[in-house]
């Protein structure tokens, strides 16, 4: 076992980690330590932290690591390390921090070259079944669906896209207020659904009511775009191109929500009270590279021949 404290090659990286591998913060710490050492002053971790943007706790941890080298020597012992006095070895301190900055730079460069990680959060809505009374989503390693969706809406800064085949007033009420708040922040909301060209359909009436609420709150209507994706067979009469009419040749049954094109919910729940509160529904919130595929799919739908922008004004 080597007892030479200055030979602890892992210590500079540990020091860099305590300041989140921020080279500027490392330089701030080094500057004050070298200045104090040059004046032969005794300093405490708390005093050094007060002159930098580093927390007292992180600075104290840095001192603990430096104590394992010859860069600092503990001269007085108090109840806590942060209030104890240390003498600084200027040259040793400079060597340690030079290596710490190099370690921070190397690790940061390595991580920047790595592909983005994928995060997947399993989501669930429990059915109104007494058998589920004594369990929670955590029992299955999952999270609640509705709180997760509303949290993502509140975090969105630029755009929210909702793809769903069926809307119902009580179900959409779970999302309506947070979507309006998002639009007040300038977030664009796009909705892609079916039967929106039928002004008597459930989907149209729910979204029209939403648009009217936006108008009442003086929200820029241009932030809301509703698109119908329903393709009818060529011979289907206009009177039959309705929710209660003929069966479409092609339409959507997907349930997707995109948040800033950076996170995507994909699941089974329709925008209904049963889907959000009473049926067993599952899904997943994705973050990372797989989201790009859903962004591309939505763009493809919006640019397809079957996509029709719908006005919700009379």
Residues 167 and 40 in one domain: no
Which residues of the chain, if any, have pLDDT below 70?
1-9, 314
Query: In the chain, where do the E strands start and end?
Result: 42-43, 72-76, 85-88, 119-125, 143-144, 159-163, 188-193, 224-231, 250-251, 256-259, 263-267, 281-287, 307-310
* Cβ–Cβ < 8 Å for 13, 107: yes
Residues 102 and 13 in one domain: yes
* Cβ–Cβ < 8 Å for 59, 52: yes
3-class SS of residue 283: strand
User: What is the span of the domain harbouring residue 177?
Assistant: 119-310
The Cα 136–Cα 177 span in angstroms is 26
Residues 185 and 126 in one domain: yes
Residues 162 and 105 in one domain: no
62-103 pLDDT, tens digit each? 999 999 899 999 998 877 888 899 999 999 999 999 999 999
Residues 99 and 127 in one domain: no
Q: What CATH number is attached to the domain comprising 241?
A: 3.30.870.10
**Alpha-carbon distance values, 3 to 63, 115, 165 (Å):** 19, 40, 69
Residues 34 and 170 in one domain: no
Residues 56 and 181 in one domain: no
pTM of the complete model:
0.67
231-282 pLDDT, tens digit each? 999 999 999 999 999 999 999 999 999 999 999 999 999 999 888 888 999 9
Domain final position from 113, 146, 172: 113
Domain final position from 113, 129, 144: 113
Residues 165 and 94 in one domain: no
Residues 191 and 97 in one domain: no
Q: What CATH number is attached to the domain comprising 63?
A: 1.10.10
């Amino acid at each position: 076992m080597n007892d030479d404290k200055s030979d602890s090659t892992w210590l500079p990286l540990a020091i860099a980690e305590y300041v989140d591998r921020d080279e500027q913060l490392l330089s701030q710490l080094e500057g004050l330590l070298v200045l104090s050492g040059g004046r032969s002053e005794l300093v405490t971790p708390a005093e050094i932290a007060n002159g930098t943007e580093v927390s007292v706790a992180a600075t104290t941890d840095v001192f603990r690591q430096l104590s394992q080298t010859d860069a600092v020597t503990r001269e007085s012992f108090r109840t806590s390390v942060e209030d104890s006095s240390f003498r600084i070895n200027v040259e040793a301190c400079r060597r340690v921090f030079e290596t710490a900055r190099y370690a921070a730079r190397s690790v940061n460069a390595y991580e920047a070259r790595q592909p983005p990680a994928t995060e997947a959060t399993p989501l669930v809505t429990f059915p109104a079944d007494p058998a589920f009374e004594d369990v929670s989503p955590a029992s299955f390693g999952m999270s609640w669906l509705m709180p997760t969706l509303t949290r993502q809406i509140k975090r969105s800064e630029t755009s929210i896209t909702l793809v769903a085949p069926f809307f119902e007033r009580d179900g959409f009420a779970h999302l309506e207020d947070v979507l309006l708040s998002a639009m007040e922040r300038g977030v664009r909301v796009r909705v892609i659904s079916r039967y929106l060209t039928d002004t008597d359909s459930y989907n149209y009436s729910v979204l029209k009511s939403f648009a009217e609420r936006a108008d009442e709150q003086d929200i820029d209507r241009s932030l809301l775009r509703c698109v119908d994706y329903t393709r009818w067979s060529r011979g289907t009469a206009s009177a039959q191109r309705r929710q209660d009419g003929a069966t479409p040749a092609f339409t959507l049954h997907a349930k997707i929500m995109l948040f800033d094109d950076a996170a995507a919910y994909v699941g089974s729940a329709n925008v209904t009270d049963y889907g959000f509160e009473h049926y067993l529904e599952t899904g997943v919130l994705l973050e990372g590279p797989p989201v790009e595929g859903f962004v591309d799919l939505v763009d493809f739908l919006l640019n397809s021949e079957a996509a029709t922008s719908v006005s919700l004004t009379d």
